């Protein structure tokens, strides 16, 4: 009987030990209270708590978490009401502060996000709200991180998921965007036409320049050809004159070598006189030397006539 009681007692002790062994998985932390007060934070591994004295309060996830909040109504500085929903990326860095810092921490973060978003958007106009997402995200992350630090929570990132203005505002924005696109299209068309006109003008300019350059080269070549022809003609005339003068000089030389008589000289003088007159002159001035030669020629003519009669 005693052995049975001892066996039962040992079995109960073993069951209590097994029931109070706790294995904490990776990326989790467990808060332990002893006699109603915080005692310890268990991290990854195997732990043993004292039965009826220690109590597991909460198991906390330490990985980064994402919360997607429902759209919140906000009013801009220019009194436009819109719906904005946000996404928050946060991580629990201190399990003890997370458990004892605030009651219902996730709803508290949601309410804090909504009020912070209203405060920031209330300082901005509609256009600023639509174009300043990075600024809003940065300001919200800074404010939320500071506010949730006593709760053992670190806010890593805040994103505005959707911004939904009223329908009439969306229609006006679409019309504005359409007008802006049409304006840009008109500008692009005008720029294209301007560029095309500039290219045509430059092409015409280059064509005229090339044509003028061609005319210039043609005129230069023509002038050079005329110059060359003139030079050749002048050289030909000079050569002809030189040839005539040379022939005349040769004739004089031969005549001088032949020792001509006075009569021959007289005849040559008359031939030169005939060439000088050439039948075109209306008045001829005969030098005295030629006149004397003329008399000599007349005497020679009479002598020849007498000889003929005698025969």
* Domain residue ranges in the chain: 2-61, 65-165, 170-259, 260-311
pLDDT at 16 over 90: no
**What pLDDT, in 10s, does the model give residues 69-83?**
888 889 888 888 888
What percentage of the chain has pLDDT greater than the value 70? Answer: 79
Enumerate residues 6+ apart whose C-beta is below 8 A from 41: 29, 30, 31, 32, 95, 96
Enumerate residues 6+ apart whose C-beta is below 8 A from 165: 80, 82, 126, 130, 173
pLDDT at 152 over 60: yes
Q: What is the mean pLDDT of the chain?
A: 80
Enumerate residues 6+ apart whose C-beta is below 8 A from 234: none
Q: 65-165 maps to which CATH number?
A: 3.30.479.30
pLDDT for the residue 279:
52
pLDDT at 2 over 60: yes
The arithmetic mean of pLDDT across residues 80-99, rounded, is 91
What percentage of the chain has pLDDT greater than the value 90? Answer: 24
pLDDT for the residue 70:
86
C-alpha distance across the termini of the chain, in Å: 215
* pTM, full prediction: 0.54
pLDDT at 3 over 90: no
Residue with the larger pLDDT of the pair 101 and 281: 101
Lowest mean pLDDT among 3-17, 114-128, 182-196, 215-229: 3-17
pLDDT for the residue 89:
94
pLDDT for the residue 275:
54
The arithmetic mean of pLDDT across residues 274-294, rounded, is 52
pLDDT for the residue 300:
46
**What pLDDT, in 10s, does the model give residues 220-270?**
888 888 888 888 888 888 787 777 777 776 766 665 666 655 555 555 555
pLDDT for the residue 237:
81
Q: For 27, left (φ over 0), alpha (ψ -120 to 50), or beta?
A: left
Q: Phi and psi at residue 153, in whole multiples of 5°?
A: -120, 135
Band (20; pLDDT cuts 50, 70, 90): confident
**What pLDDT, in 10s, does the model give residues 168-180?**
877 877 788 888 8
pLDDT for the residue 140:
92
pLDDT for the residue 63:
92
């Amino acid at each position: 009987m005693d052995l049975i009681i001892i066996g039962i007692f040992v079995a109960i002790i073993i069951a209590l030990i097994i029931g109070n062994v706790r294995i904490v998985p990776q990326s989790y932390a467990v808060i332990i209270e002893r006699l109603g007060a915080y005692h310890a934070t268990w991290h990854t591994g195997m732990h043993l708590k004292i039965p009826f004295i220690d109590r597991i309060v909460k198991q906390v996830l330490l990985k980064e978490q994402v919360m997607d909040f429902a759209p919140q109504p906000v009013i801009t500085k220019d009194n436009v009401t819109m719906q904005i929903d946000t996404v928050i990326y946060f991580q629990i860095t201190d399990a003890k502060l997370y458990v004892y810092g605030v009651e219902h921490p996730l709803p508290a973060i949601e309410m804090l996000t909504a009020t912070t978003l209203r405060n920031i958007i209330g300082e901005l106009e509609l256009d600023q709200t639509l174009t300043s997402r990075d600024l809003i995200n940065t300001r919200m992350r800074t404010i939320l991180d500071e506010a949730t630090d006593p709760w053992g929570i670190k806010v890593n990132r805040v994103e505005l998921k959707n911004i939904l203005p009223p329908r009439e505002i969306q229609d006006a924005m679409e019309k504005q965007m359409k007008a802006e696109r049409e304006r840009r299209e008109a500008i692009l068309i005008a720029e294209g036409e301007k560029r095309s006109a500039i290219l045509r003008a430059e092409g015409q300019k280059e064509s005229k320049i090339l044509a003028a350059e061609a005319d210039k080269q043609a005129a230069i070549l023509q002038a050079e050809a005329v110059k060359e022809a003139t030079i050749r003609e002048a050289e030909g005339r000079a050569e002809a004159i030189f040839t005539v003068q040379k022939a005349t000089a040769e004739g004089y030389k031969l005549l001088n070598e032949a020792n001509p008589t006075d009569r021959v000289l007289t005849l040559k003088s008359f031939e030169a006189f005939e060439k000088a007159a050439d039948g075109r002159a209306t008045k001829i001035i005969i030098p005295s030397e030629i006149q004397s030669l003329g008399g000599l020629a007349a005497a020679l003519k009479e002598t020849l006539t007498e000889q003929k009669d005698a025969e």
